[in-house]
């Protein structure tokens, strides 16, 4: 991880002379009487909006209840089946180490020597005696029973909560359960905003915005993303013989959130309000010592529970993956975005389904990039090992086909299975003979979807160091499983020896980067995407930001997050500073587009790039991206018909053509409209789901609106990808200018280490791409399990009885 040396540690912020204003925990709110429905002036809107979001994403009441039921059954099955295997099976008989004498008169001499399953299973009385005679087994069963009863009570409470949300969808939002899958989240969110005007759910704000809803759903996640961005959480470990490694698992992430957000001793006094004492700098040292003691206690509890959690992790992994590994041994060689990668690549105010869709689109180019690295020596060895293993396997299969009695030979099935696994593994080291070697273009395509990358990867895409760093963001499934199995052992030591030493930095972070928003409560200031407070001059916010190097978000996260949220929520009205930044960006795009190639000529090259970077025929949004990626330096390009131009000018040309082809939506009056999907429904290619829904009746237009909505979403994603490429190019131009005229392709240092800033350059004709600086990486549970963990957090937190400023 030598390449990540530019990822600086978070610097402790100096004390402020004045304390933060006191909290408003004693604020009294008058709630008018007379409303009979339960959704008027809701006390805990964080919990309520999060449940609405999860209800939509998990496809309604029936699916959620069924999932809860099978989770109970699954836990009961694992405990019962494991107890049965350890206490009720006679393995000497099963493995034929002890002869079983069958004396039945109807059995032949050969049948008397065969072992059947009933022979290896002990009688129920003997099995019960074995269990009762083992006090350790009894203790574990009692603990498992208590936990299962706790889960049962929790499931009952969850089902009642799901039913309440079901009624809210039907009665308040007018969405029937059989139509839920046809509604996008933006449509549900729009109905929530409209409902607030007619039936106030929030006491202090008459109007709810899209950003208010996102802030409540993602309050704690925005804090976590910001701490990862500022390198505050200790996820980087120095391992002997391996160097620096990233370790972040679901268990470790759960402990971080327990300590900081929703535990009984956390920094928040409720779901929406930071405890007032953490907002004042006077007693920061004492608060840091107190937090250190809490972290130490949590680490010791984790150490005490380590054996039990480890046993469960091993059993769960075995039952989950054993059959899959036997059936598809290559599944362990598949890749997934690590848990750290999801946090590092996540924008501020980005919901789970938006992140998953973006990373899903980047999966294929990322996999192609990683698979392009093959060792020639390993390839030669793999070919020969596959040949010898395949030869032996072919003979064994042929003998089995000739006479099935061959299967009764001892260990013959084991040999066939092992040989099949060996062949599958060796094939992964053999390169595709039809593969085109273009790592720079593949990495550029990955950047278009994930939006963040280390600067020093530019020009070094063919280096093994770059590939190793990418592997930490995009890890093997086998590494993912191994990390989770080791998590119960490693997590206590990270808490005790690494996180505890950062107590003061954590206290400073929450004091300096927490703001109180009326009607929303305390949120992370980075989540406001305030260019003036957290912008970076080298990310196109020069002259618009007052942030010091410590207040700036790293890697352009403020600017990119603002663009992403604006594109995904076209009806959102940004504040003045954000509107100025977006307008400035649009002007710069149009200016650079004048020096770029014609969009028609760009689209003519799209099939070339698409054939190199994807496995399927391209859609219209894919062609937009491919037309820009074709200008990222494809070797041997024929430039007789299209003049040489930079990736930035190509992206600007496509963006400008999209912007100039649109007509402003009737519901949007602001001047920085960027996405063609917001134009009127006369042009169906760029028609938004809202426009389609307004132009046709609900009964006739639902299917058509769903199709347009999906297309609009794809174009929005393509537009954001083009903006990410363009902003990275302009950022790199500023970095190169600041580095001096005699330095080219120098990896950019972190923004916090840059002391010089170059003047704003109006032309992007000579830009070369160097993506943003990276951090460090890790992960356990799949995306569904992460959402389930969030739901666990929601339902385990008690709802306060009193109202407060941020609660409603």
For tokens 């929406």, the residue is: 272
Sort strands 273-274 and 335-337 into parallel, antiparallel or unpaired: unpaired
pLDDT classification of 786: cutoffs 50, 70, 90? low
pLDDT classification of 497: cutoffs 50, 70, 90? very high
| pTM (two decimals) | 0.78
Sort strands 273-274 and 521-524 into parallel, antiparallel or unpaired: unpaired
- Helix/strand/coil for 95: coil
Q: What is the pLDDT of residues 724-760, one digit of tens each?
A: 888 888 888 887 766 554 333 333 333 333 333 333 3
Q: What is the pLDDT of residues 664-700, one digit of tens each?
A: 443 333 334 444 433 333 333 333 343 333 434 444 4
Ramachandran angles phi, psi of 474, nearest 5°: -130, 80
For residue 713, which of 563, 565, 567 has the smallest C-alpha distance? Answer: 567
Q: Which is higher by pLDDT, 312 or 700?
A: 312
pLDDT classification of 592: cutoffs 50, 70, 90? confident
Q: How far is CA 523 from the centre of its chain?
A: 20
- pLDDT at position 333 is 76
Hey, what's the torsion of the CAs at 399, 400, 404, 409, to 10 degrees?
80
Q: Is the pLDDT of residue 351 over 80?
A: yes
Average pLDDT over residues 481-506: 94
Average pLDDT over residues 99-119: 60
DSSP 329: G
Q: Is the pLDDT of residue 709 over 50?
A: yes
Indicate the average pLDDT of the chain.
Answer: 76
- Helix/strand/coil for 726: helix
Share of the chain above pLDDT 90, in %: 34
- pLDDT at position 277 is 92
- pLDDT at position 113 is 60
Task: Provide the β-strand partners of residue 687.
Answer: 679
- pLDDT at position 101 is 58
Ramachandran angles phi, psi of 517, nearest 5°: -105, 130
**Residue 659 structure tokens:** 């912007």
Q: Are 587 and 541 in contact (CB under 8 A)?
A: no
**Tally of CB atoms within 10 A around 650:** 30
Q: Is the pLDDT of residue 485 over 50?
A: yes
């Amino acid at each position: 991880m030598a390449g990540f040396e530019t990822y600086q540690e978070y610097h402790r912020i100096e004390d402020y002379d004045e304390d933060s204003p006191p909290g408003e925990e004693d604020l009294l709110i008058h709630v008018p009487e007379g409303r009979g429905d339960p959704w008027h002036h809701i006390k805990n809107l964080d919990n309520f909006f999060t449940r609405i979001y999860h209800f939509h994403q998990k496809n309604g009441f029936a699916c959620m209840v069924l999932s809860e039921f099978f989770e109970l059954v699954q836990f009961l099955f694992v405990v019962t089946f494991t107890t049965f295997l350890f206490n009720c099976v006679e393995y000497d008989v099963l493995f034929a180490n002890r002869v079983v004498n069958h004396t039945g008169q109807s059995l032949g001499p050969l049948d008397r020597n065969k072992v059947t399953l009933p022979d290896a299973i002990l009688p129920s009385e003997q099995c019960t005696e074995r269990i009762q005679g083992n006090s350790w087994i009894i203790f574990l069963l009692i603990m498992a029973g208590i936990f299962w009863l706790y889960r049962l009570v929790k499931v009952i409470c969850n089902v009642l909560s799901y039913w309440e949300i079901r009624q809210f969808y039907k009665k308040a939002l007018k969405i029937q359960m059989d139509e839920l899958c046809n509604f996008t989240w933006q449509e549900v969110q729009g109905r929530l905003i409209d409902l607030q005007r007619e039936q106030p759910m929030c006491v202090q704000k008459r109007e709810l915005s899209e950003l208010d809803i996102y802030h409540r759903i993602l309050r704690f996640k925005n804090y976590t993303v910001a701490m990862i961005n500022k390198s505050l959480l200790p996820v980087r470990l120095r391992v002997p013989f391996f160097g620096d490694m990233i370790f972040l698992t679901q268990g470790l992430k759960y402990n971080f959130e327990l300590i900081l957000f929703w535990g009984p001793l956390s920094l928040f006094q409720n779901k929406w309000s930071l405890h007032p004492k953490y907002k004042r700098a006077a007693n920061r040292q004492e608060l840091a010592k107190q937090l250190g003691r809490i972290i130490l206690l949590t680490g010791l509890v984790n150490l005490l529970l380590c054996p039990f959690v480890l046993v469960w992790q091993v059993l769960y992994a075995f039952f989950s993956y054993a059959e899959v590994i036997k059936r598809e041994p290559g599944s362990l060689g598949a890749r997934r975005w690590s848990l750290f990668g999801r946090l590092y690549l996540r924008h501020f105010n980005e919901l789970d389904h938006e992140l998953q869709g973006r990373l899903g689109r980047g999966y294929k180019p990322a996999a192609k990039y990683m698979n392009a690295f093959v060792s020639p020596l390993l390839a030669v060895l793999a070919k020969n090992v596959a040949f010898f293993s395949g030869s032996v396997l072919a003979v064994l299969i042929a003998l089995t086909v000739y006479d099935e009695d061959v299967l009764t030979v001892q260990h013959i099935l084991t040999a066939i299975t092992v040989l099949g696994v060996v062949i599958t593994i060796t094939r992964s080291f053999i390169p595709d003979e039809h593969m085109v070697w273009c790592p720079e273009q593949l990495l550029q395509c990955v950047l278009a979807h994930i939006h963040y990358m280390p600067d020093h990867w530019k020009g070094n895409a063919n280096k093994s160091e770059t590939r190793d760093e990418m592997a930490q963001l995009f890890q093997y499934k086998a590494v993912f499983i191994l990390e989770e199995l080791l998590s119960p052992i490693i997590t206590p030591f990270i808490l005790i020896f690494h996180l505890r030493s950062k107590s003061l930095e954590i206290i400073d972070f929450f004091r300096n980067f927490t703001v109180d928003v009326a009607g929303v409560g305390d949120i992370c200031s980075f989540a406001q995407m305030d260019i003036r407070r957290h912008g970076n001059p080298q990310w196109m916010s020069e002259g618009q930001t007052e942030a010091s190097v410590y207040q700036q978000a790293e890697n352009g996260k403020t600017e990119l997050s603002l663009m992403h949220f604006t594109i995904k929520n076209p009806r959102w009205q940004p504040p003045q500073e954000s509107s100025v930044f977006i307008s400035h960006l649009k002007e710069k795009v149009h200016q650079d587009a004048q020096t770029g190639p014609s969009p028609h000529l760009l689209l003519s090259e799209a099939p070339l790039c698409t054939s190199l970077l994807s496995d399927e025929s391209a859609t219209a949004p894919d062609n937009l991206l491919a037309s820009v990626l074709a200008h990222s330096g494809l070797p041997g390009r024929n430039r007789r018909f299209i003049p040489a131009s930079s990736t930035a000018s190509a992206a600007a040309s496509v963006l400008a053509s999209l912007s100039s082809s649109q007509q402003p939506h009737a519901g949007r009056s602001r001047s920085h409209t960027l996405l063609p999907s917001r134009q009127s429904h006369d042009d169906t290619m760029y028609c938004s789901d809202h426009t389609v829904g307004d132009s046709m009746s609900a009964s006739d237009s639902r299917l058509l609106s769903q199709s347009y909505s999906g297309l609009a979403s794809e174009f929005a994603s393509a537009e954001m990808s083009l903006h990410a490429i363009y902003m990275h190019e302009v950022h790199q131009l500023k970095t190169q200018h600041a580095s001096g005229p005699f330095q080219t392709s120098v990896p950019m240092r972190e923004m916090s280490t840059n002391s010089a800033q170059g003047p704003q350059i109006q032309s992007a004709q000579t830009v070369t791409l160097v993506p943003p600086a990276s951090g460090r990486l890790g992960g356990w549970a799949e995306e569904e399990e992460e959402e389930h963990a969030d739901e666990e957090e929601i339902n385990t937190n008690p709802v306060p009885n009193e109202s407060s400023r941020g609660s409603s």
